């Protein structure tokens, strides 16, 4: 079978995969089988297919889930539009084209497609490979991304004592403690946090949601603030949450209870990562015709792989353009020519890496 990446992409974008990836997974499995490759689906829902054997072992990875809502397929003016066209079914089409085209003569080539990158990353967390390099498909505008920030989420909870609003001194107003918390978030990286990364810059710490109070005429006994942390290497999630708790305890009034907790999830947070731009995988993509070497603007499952082998992020599409958001946006699209270019660049790179 001759694999045509744009035909595949049009069919893939037409398949909703924001609530369930089952139909999309079946489509990818059938596509690989038609190409003469027998994939497996592991207990975590990952699609895994392999060619060749020995070393080096190169792993191609991306994901098949999308964020809601589903936007239907449109094709016009050299673009494929619709949910997932850019993130990450465009990169998936390019990866499959290169994988199907490549017959390793010196090494092993693995494609591993995960089911829930946009949520808990249980698929990526379950992947264990003895690999020599990873190429993770995401919308990078055909550039080679060798570093990215991580993302942690948690809550800061304050507890006080409820009372009648007519007699505020009888209670302890939990909301009043937010002033100290917000000031503490602004000063955290100056006094307790990590310094700026030479490529990724400074980390960010942003309050994103707040809830508290029970009635307009009652002193609130509790308030909860959700925080978003965009980390940079080498910060880990445990050291961040421990450090933030220590920092805020010094600033919040003693009469209020304080708790800093990480969001509940069964998998590790996506931490920041960095790969040497002179690594074999990065240089192979450059030799294959990729664009500049730079950092990636979003957290990605590359975080899970970078600790064990050189890992880069590459693919067609962009996170945003001059008109605003693209990936996850209402106008999500990918350029047809860029998908074809990505396929060619990956094929050339794989020829360098595995013969």
The catalytic residue among 65, 132, 138, 235 is 65
Give the up-direction half-sphere exposure of residue 71: CA atoms within 13 A in the CB hemisphere.
19
Tell how strand 222-231 and strand 273-274 pair up: unpaired
Q: Taking the CA of residue 121 as centre, how many other CA atoms within 13 Å lie in the half-sphere pointing to its CB?
A: 19
Between the CA of residue 338 and those of 128, 149, 277, 291, 332, what are the distances in Å?
31, 25, 22, 12, 14
Cβ proximity of 107 and 56 under 8 Å: yes
Helix (H) or strand (E) holding 302: helix 302-306
Catalytic residue among 10, 87, 116, 117: 117
Residue 269, classed as helix, strand or coil, is coil
Residues whose CB falls within 8 Å of the CB of residue 23, separated by 6 or more in sequence, listed in order: 15, 16, 17
Our answer to whether residue 117 is catalytic in this structure is yes
Residue 143 a catalytic site member: no
44, 122 contact by CB (below 8 A): yes
Q: The tokens of 150 are what?
A: 């991580």
Query: What's the rounded Cα separation, in Å, for the pair 61 and 12?
Result: 17
Distances (CA, A) of 211 to 183, 208, 280: 18, 11, 49
> How far, in Å, CA of 335 to CA of 90, rounded?
9
In contact, 67 and 119? CB cutoff 8 Å? no
Residues 6+ apart with CB under 8 A from 140: 296, 313, 314, 315, 317, 318
Positions marked catalytic? 65, 117
């Amino acid at each position: 079978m001759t694999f045509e990446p744009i035909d595949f992409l049009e069919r893939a974008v037409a398949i909703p995969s924001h609530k369930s990836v089952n139909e999309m997974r079946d489509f990818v499995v059938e596509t690989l089988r038609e190409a003469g490759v027998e994939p497996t689906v592991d207990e975590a829902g990952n699609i895994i297919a392999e060619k060749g054997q020995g070393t080096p072992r190169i792993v191609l990875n991306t994901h098949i889930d999308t964020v809601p809502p589903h936007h239907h397929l449109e094709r016009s003016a050299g673009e494929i539009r619709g949910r997932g066209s850019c993130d990450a079914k465009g990169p998936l089409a390019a990866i499959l084209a290169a994988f199907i085209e490549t017959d390793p003569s010196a090494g092993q080539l693995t494609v591993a497609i995960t089911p829930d990158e946009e949520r808990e990353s249980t698929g990526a967390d379950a992947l264990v490979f003895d690999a020599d390099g990873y190429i993770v498909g995401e919308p990078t505008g055909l550039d080679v991304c060798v570093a990215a920030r991580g993302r942690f989420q948690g809550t800061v909870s304050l507890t006080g004592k409820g009372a009648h609003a007519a007699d505020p001194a009888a209670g302890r107003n939990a909301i009043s403690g937010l002033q100290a918390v917000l000031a503490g978030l602004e000063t955290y990286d100056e006094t307790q946090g990590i310094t700026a990364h030479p490529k990724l810059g400074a980390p960010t710490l942003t309050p994103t949601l707040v809830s508290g109070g029970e009635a307009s005429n009652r002193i609130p006994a509790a308030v909860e603030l959700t925080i978003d942390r965009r980390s940079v290497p080498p910060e880990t999630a445990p050291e961040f949450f421990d450090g933030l708790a220590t920092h805020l305890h010094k600033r919040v009034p003693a009469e209020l209870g304080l708790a800093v907790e990480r969001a509940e999830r069964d998998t590790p947070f996506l931490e920041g990562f960095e790969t040497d731009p002179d690594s074999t995988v990065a240089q192979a993509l450059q030799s294959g015709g990729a664009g500049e070497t730079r950092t990636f603007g979003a957290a990605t499952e590359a975080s899970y792989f970078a600790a064990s082998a050189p890992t880069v992020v590459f693919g067609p599409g962009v996170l945003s353009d001059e008109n605003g958001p693209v990936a996850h946006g209402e106008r999500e699209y990918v350029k047809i020519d860029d998908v074809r270019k990505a396929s060619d660049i990956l094929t050339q790179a794989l020829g360098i890496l595995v013969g």
